[in-house]
Structure formats: structure tokens, C-alpha cells
Homo-oligomer: A and B are copies of this chain.
Amino acid sequence: MPQPIRIALDAMGGDFGPEVTIAGAALALEHGLDADFLLYGDETAVRAQLAKFPQLGARSRVIHAAFAVRMDDKPSVALRQGRRVSSMWMAVEAVKKGEAQAAVSAGNTGALMAMAKVCLKTIARIDRPALACQWQTLRGRSIVLDVGATIGADARHLVDLAIMGAAMARITLGVETPTVGLLNVGEEEIKGAEEVKTASKLLRDNPPPGMDYRGFVEGNGIGKGLVDVVVVEGFTGNITLKTAEGTASQVFAYLKDALKRHFWARVGFALAYPFARAAIQELRAVADPRRNAGAVFLGVEGVVIKSHGGADAFGVARAIEIGYEMARDNLPARIREAAAIAHADEGGALAEESKSDAAE
């Protein structure tokens, strides 16, 4: 029988700390997750919360961390102050040491990214890591990456994003050959940024195994669910994600305002709500995908999941469940294999040459 998976949880992460993170872990167990936990944080604070959840208590070990990274620390400061001693670092390091198979934190994104990179290192033949989110679409969910791990991407990095996104989609979406699209300003082959066109040519001419490359996708194609994996450079990806969240929030604000001002609107809404509920929940998922699902760091030698800083216990539980899935199916190994095949012809100097080719 396989060992149950062990999750290293940064109990101090997020806007609410142990109160929410511990409740989230307990909720994941309630949902039926077969996992053990290493809980990193201020021992007194963690144990106080843990006392409420005997089932979780029986499956966890608490490890005291003297330091908690603050939500607004710069990554460099967090690394300098929090290396080895912070709950965030210790959770990531547990993955490195093999004591846990996934690290989950609702803490400072930049700091978590920096620690994951420094502690776990980047996967061979992958130059830079990425941050992937799940995007609620009309057809279900899609993976969108990079939503802000790095800024600027040459053609080779865009191909790596496609490889990493497809590996994640195979696990999360359960699709054997995920469809992949490059986000661009038009669907025609002649349009768009040079590096995006070059990446498209690379993906067409040498399709990496295990993906079905479908060409360009426009901004309004994401929500339609045109492809399983949407690839975009991190600056644009981050802005795109936040704009979609902002637009969905805007819709909520309009509706709330109408309800607040008009009695009959409230009556109508109360009648419609039980039936429109699924629609409203889907809408909420668009308004804040990160609250409903953890973002996944791709490209480092270990599974690291970022839960939303403002996540409630449900959000943390979802992030833990995603971490579990990624660990069970060994996401880093899948990316390592795919990258090795895709970049098989690259030696040392040759790899450098190919990189600058791709960037032209």
C-alpha cells in the first residue's frame, strides 16, 4: 500500500494565520483527503487552533517556527530574515528533504516564490519557474500561466510554459492530451508579438509530446474555454487575471447596488436565487479564482501551492487538495520528463545557442 501523502503547511500564512489555515487542513480531511500534515508556525498559536480538530491533531506534527513572513515583506527581505527560521521556509524545506510531498502557504506570493526557487531549485532545462492558476470558463476550467512569476518571456520560455501547463492540466483536468493556446492579439498567424509568433512556430514544428497545440487565443477566448491551457508571459498574464477578477467584482457591485436600492429587485432576486445560485457561484469563481483554488508554482523541484492571502478555510482546503493531487501524480517529475524530451537535442553550448535563436 502506498504511503499517505504528507503536506507541509505554513500555518502562519495568509491574512488570518492559524485560525484559517488549521481549519482549512481540518476541512480537507473532512472532505476525505488521505494526507498527513506537518504544521509549521508559532507552536502555541498552532496548538490552540489544533485543539479544535482532533481528527487533524491525530494526523499532524507541529513544528515550531520562530518567524513568520509578513504579507508585505519584499521577497529579498523575507529571504534574508526568514531563511531557515520562518514557517514558510521550513514548509518548503520539508519538501526538499523529502519529509513532505507538497508545501502549501497562503503567505506573501513573492516571498514564497523566492524561497521555492532558492530552496528547491529550478527543474533541469527549465530556465524560470511560473505561477499557474485555474480559470473558471464556460466549459469548465482552464489553466492559465504565467500569472506573474516572471516578467518578460522569450519564445523558448513560452514553450516551457506550454510544457509545464500541459503537465499540470493532465493532472488537474484529467485530460490525457490537453489543448494549448498562446494568448495573442489576434488569431491570425501574422499578428502579434514576435516572441509569441516564434513560440507558435516552435510548437507547430516540434510539438512537445502530450499536448495538442491549437494556435493563438484572444483575451475573450479564455472565458469561453477554447483551450485547456492558455500560455502568456507573466506581466500580461498577471494583469489579465486581475482584470478578469476586477470585471467580475464590478458585476457583483452593480447587482448589489441594484438590490440595495430597490425593494422589488430584492424580491425578484430572492425568488430567482435558488435557481441562479449555480450561476452566481460560477461567477464568484471568476471574480476570485485564487480564493477558490490554489495557484501552483511550476518549474521547481517540488510541489509548492500558493493559497490566496484572503482565503477562508474552504480556499485553504482547496489549495491543500490541489497540492495533494500534484504530489500524488508527481508534477515535478512529469515536467522534468517533458522538458527533457522537448529539449533533448540541447547540449550545454547548444542550449545557449538555441535560447538566443528562440529569442530573436
Please report A residues at the B interface, Cβ cutoff 8 Å: 74, 137-138, 148, 151-152, 183-185, 190, 192-193, 218-224, 232, 234-236, 238-251, 253-255, 257-259, 261-262, 264-276, 278-280, 282-283, 286
Contacts and interface: CB of A to CB of B under 8 A. Distances in A.
Contacts of A74: 190
Nearest to A262: B275
Contacts of A264: 271-272, 274-275
Given A221-B246, A248-B251, A267-B268, 19 more contacts: A151-B185, A151-B193, A185-B235, A219-B238, A219-B242, A219-B243, A220-B243, A220-B246, A239-B240, A240-B243, A247-B247, A251-B286, A254-B282, A255-B279, A257-B279, A258-B272, A258-B275, A264-B272, A267-B272
B279 A268 contact: no
Contact of A258 (B247, B265, B270, B278): B278
Contacts of A184: 239
A346 to B, nearest CB: 28
19 contacts: A74-B190, A138-B254, A185-B234, A219-B241, A219-B244, A220-B249, A223-B250, A243-B247, A244-B247, A250-B286, A251-B283, A251-B286, A257-B279, A259-B276, A265-B271, A265-B272, A265-B276, A268-B273, A272-B272
Copies of this chain in the oligomer: 2
Contacts of A223: 243, 246-247, 249-250
Contact of A247 (B218, B248, B259): B248
Contacts of A232: 239
B138 A253 contact: yes
Contact of A265 (B239, B249, B262, B275): B275
Contacts of A254: 138, 279-280, 282-283
